[in-house]
Amino acid sequence: MTHQTFDPVELLGERVRAAISAAAPDAPDDADAMISPSKRAELGDFQCNAAMPLAKRLGMKPRDLATKIVEHIDVTDLCEPVTEADIAGPGFINFRLQQDAIGTLLDRLDSPSLGLPAPESPTTVVVDVCGVNLAKQMHVGHLRSSVIGDTLARTFERLGETVVRQNHVGDWGLPIAMVTRKLQSEAEAGRVSLDDLTLDELDRLYKLAQHECRGQGKGLELVAKYNLGPKIEAELRAMHDEAMEHLAEAKATLVALQAQEPAVHAIWKRIYAVTMGACLKTCQRLHTRITEADSAGESSYAEELTTVVNDLVARGIAEESSGALVVRLDSPEDGGIAEPCLIRKGDGGYLYATTDIAAIKRRVQTIGADRVIYTVDARQSLHFKQVFAAARKAGYATKPGASQPSVLEHAAFGTVLGEDGRPFKTRSGENIRLSDLLDEAIDRARQDGGQQEPRPARR
């Protein structure tokens, strides 16, 4: 592969090898130019040490060979004139770059590829970035998944690969049905305006919906165990029954969502629009290239989950275990993972693993990914090991016609910790909102910037 290099060591090496061939025809074709930064700056920027070992092989004096190399070398476009005076010691040849040449080399970096050679056969790289959830604010954990993911995407783009960003949006399932039901009831009661809806309001309703659907089963068990009396039992029973009613309504809402019932689906679409509008604005503040076009919601996989699970069962890859369906991965060829990958619960519900396996299938077999990279918290390492192994076992990680599976990688990062060494949260125990963190960072930067001495002008 030929390319226009900007590396002075590589350029000088090419010129020195050409000079060696002209000065000593008997020299080997693969003679090492031995270019390195000069050890004595007053003598030059780079030095060539090739004359000493090569002269011994040719039966010459090193300085005589160095003189011949200098006579034949052409570096006028790169260096100040090289003469016999630039030969030091037994045969070191010193080079000093021209200032204009340095500028020319740097100009070669000013290109989409940063001067790097384009790959002969570009590959398709899918980078899973950000990963927001409907009706919830982006929190401090999204900072790394967004920035690291976008950085990897940009790096592969610079290398000439075809990059597809995928923002895996948590927009489906029972929790989303809960907040959809709550927003619909609040809007119908006139307590919330759909037109003026904000993500802060959605975040509040999400937490309220979760609380309303939380039963008191454990509390009732404790009442019975410690005989706490009929009054407490009656109060908890009433709370539990009410929660079960809310939960039943949420499950009915989920069914309506799956059927795309117009009224319910319109509420869901409003939740989606408000959430993504706010989250993508935060992504813009981070200067990431994450757009609406990159969104791949879990809802888009909803119709594929049953097909995937049925396929795994039909081929004997998934098996029943205590009423649930799992993919066993404990054999060495499957990854040697002791814990099986759970893909369907006993009640028939699907899990994150099910969606992630379906996502791998689409990303590899439909999008055509040769490599899929997930920028997700390190606490999800086991999850991705299981999902990757299950996808490989099923053949979902292999492109049609390919002999080897595509590369699946978890680019894990650590947890943002507070001063107490625990995950960074507010005093009330909630996640730090990313927008608040950015606001504070900007305010502090402005304050610090006003206190600092001005930087000296660049020369």
Amino acid letter, 62? P
Beta strands at 124-129 and 162-169: parallel, antiparallel or unpaired: parallel
Instruction: Walk along the chain (459 residues) and give the pLDDT tens digit of each residue.
Output: 445 677 899 999 999 999 999 999 988 888 899 999 998 989 999 999 999 999 999 999 999 999 999 999 999 999 999 999 999 999 999 999 999 998 888 887 777 777 777 888 999 999 999 999 999 999 998 999 999 999 999 999 988 999 999 999 999 999 999 999 999 999 999 999 999 999 999 999 999 999 999 987 777 777 777 777 788 888 887 888 888 999 999 999 999 998 999 999 999 999 999 999 999 999 999 999 999 999 999 999 999 999 999 999 999 999 999 999 999 999 999 999 999 999 999 988 899 999 999 999 999 999 999 999 999 999 999 999 999 999 999 999 999 999 999 999 999 999 888 778 887 776 666 788 999 999 999 999 998 876 655 555 544
**How many C-beta atoms surround the C-beta of residue 378 within 10 A?**
12
Segments making up each domain of the chain, as ranges: 8-107, 123-169+291-459, 171-287
* pLDDT, mean over the chain: 91
The 8 Å CB, 24+ separation contacts for 358-363 are 358/301, 358/304, 358/305, 358/308, 359/166, 359/168, 359/296, 359/301, 360/387, 360/388, 360/391, 360/396, 360/397, 360/408, 361/304, 361/308, 361/391, 361/394, 361/396, 362/301, 362/304, 363/126, 363/164, 363/166
User: Spelled out in words, what is the top-level CATH class assigned to the domain 123-169+291-459?
Assistant: alpha beta
What pLDDT is recorded for position 239?
Answer: 84
Q: Which residues pair with 408 in a beta bridge?
A: 372
CATH classification code of 8-107:
3.30.1360.70
Q: Which residues pair with 409 in a beta bridge?
A: 373
User: Is the distance from CB of 369 to CB of 125 less than 8 angstroms?
Assistant: yes
Residues 6 or more apart whose CB falls under 8 angstroms from that of 171 comprise 133, 134, 268, 272, 297, 298, 299
3-state SS assignment for residue 408:
strand
What pLDDT is recorded for position 452?
Answer: 59
To the nearest whole percent, how much of the chain has pLDDT over 70?
96
Report pTM.
Answer: 0.79
What pLDDT is recorded for position 208?
Answer: 96
For the stretch 47-78, pLDDT in tens is: 999 999 999 999 999 999 999 999 999 999 99
Locus of tokens 């809007």: 187
From the DSSP assignment, how many helices (H) and strands (E) are in the chain? 14, 12
Locus of tokens 């292999």: 398
For the stretch 364-404, pLDDT in tens is: 999 999 999 999 999 999 999 999 999 999 999 999 999 99
Measured CA to CA in angstroms, residue 282 lies from 31, 113, 142 at distances of: 55, 28, 10
Cα–Cα distance, 306 to 275 (Å, whole number): 28
Could you say which DSSP state residue 372 is in? E
